[in-house]
Amino acid sequence: MKLPTINKKVLDAKFVLCHWVDINSDASWTTLEKARQSKPTICVSTGWLIKEDKDVHILCGDINFEDDGTLADVGNVTTIPSVNIIKKKVIKI
């Protein structure tokens, strides 16, 4: 089996590691004191940055190929509001 080449012609995207802030919630009963100590969750995601603008960063973690080596589908898509991005680093592949 021949492995496909991943380059700019196939997938016009950088591979990134993103630190971002997410909502944290808890539906269980808790004391008022503990509830007031609740904080947002820091998340780390990696993937191909397929869209980036002032509103949104969209990453896909998986890609697959047709038999001729062209890009077929993307999967494991994560959509993050841009305001939630804390840090972003491009990973050289």
> Residue 1 above 80 pLDDT?
no
Sheet with 56-65, side-by-side order of all strands = 71-81, 56-65, 41-52, 14-22, 85-90
Whole-number pLDDT of residue 11: 84
What confidence tier does 44 reach under pLDDT thresholds 50, 70, 90?
very high
Q: Is the pTM of this model over 0.85?
A: yes
Whole-number pLDDT of residue 70: 86
Contact assessment for residue 73 and residue 63, using Cβ atoms and an 8 Å cutoff: yes
